[in-house]
Amino acid sequence: MSQVAFESKRNTRALVLLMVVVLAWGTMWPVNKALLAYMPPIWSVALRTYISMLTLFAISLLVTGLALPKRQDLPVLVSMVVLHMVAFTILSQLALQWVPAGRSAVLAYTSVLWAPIGAALCLGETLSRRRILGLGFGILGLVAIFNPFTFDWSDRGAVAGNALLLLAAMLWAASIVHNRGHAWRSTPFQLAPWQALLAAVLLTLAAVSIEGPPVVSWNGRSLALLLFAGIAGTALAYWAAAVSSSELPASTTSLGLLGTPAVSVAVALLLLGEAPTFPLVLALVLLIGGIAVGATGSRRA
- HEC string of 46-112? HHHHHHHHHHHHHHHHHHHCCCCCCHHHHHHHHHHHHHHHHHHHHHHHHHCCCCCHHHHHHHHCCHH
Domain that holds residue 286: 3-295
List the Cα angle 92/100/139 in 5-degree steps: 75
The pLDDT value given to residue 151: 78
pLDDT per residue as tens digits for the range 113-134: 788 788 888 878 777 787 788 8
The reported pLDDT for the residue numbered 78 is 93
301: confidence class by pLDDT, cuts 50, 70, 90: very low
pLDDT digits (tens, 9 = 90+) for 25-46: 999 999 999 999 999 999 999 9
Confidence of residue 8 (pLDDT cuts 50, 70, 90): low
Burial of 168 (0-12, 13-18, 19+ CB in 10 A): buried
- The full length of the chain comes to 301
In a domain, 186, yes or no: yes
Residue 300 falls inside a structural domain = no
* 301 within a domain of the structure (yes/no): no
- What is the greatest pairwise CA distance in the chain? 65
Whether residue 214 contacts residue 40, with contact meaning beta carbons closer than 8 Å, is answered with: yes
Please list, in sequence order, all residues whose beta carbon lies within 8 angstroms of the beta carbon of residue 7, skipping any fewer than 6 positions away: none
What pLDDT sits at residue 10?
67
In a domain, 183, yes or no: yes
| pLDDT, average across residues 69-85 | 90
Residue 115 lies in a domain: yes
The verdict on residue 42 lying in a domain is yes
Taking the C-alpha atoms of residue 94 and residue 74, their distance in angstroms, rounded to an integer, is 28
Is residue 239 included in any domain, yes or no? yes
What's the structural domain count of the chain?
1
Statement: residue 3 has pLDDT above 70? no
3-state helix, strand and coil shares in percent for the chain, rounded to the nearest 5: 80, 0, 20
Q: Which of 204, 237, 226 is nearest to 86 (CA)?
A: 204
Which sign, positive or negative, has the C-alpha torsion 94, 264, 238, 176? negative
287 closest CA partner among 131, 129, 83, 140: 140
Query: Could you say which DSSP state residue 234 is in?
Result: I
Is 93 within a domain? yes
Distance of CA 156 to the CA centre of its chain: 25
Tell me: pLDDT of 5 over 60. no
268-to-26, 88, 102, 282 alpha-carbon distances in Å: 9, 20, 6, 17
Give Cα separations from 211 to 72, 161, 285 (angstroms).
35, 18, 37
CA angle 133, 136, 139 (to 5 degrees): 155
Global confidence as pTM: 0.87
**What tens digit of pLDDT does each residue of 97-116 get?**
999 999 999 899 888 778 87
**Which residue would you say has higher pLDDT here, 185 or 273?**
273
**57 pLDDT exceeds 80?**
yes
* Cα–Cα distance for residue pair 60/197, rounded to 1 Å: 13
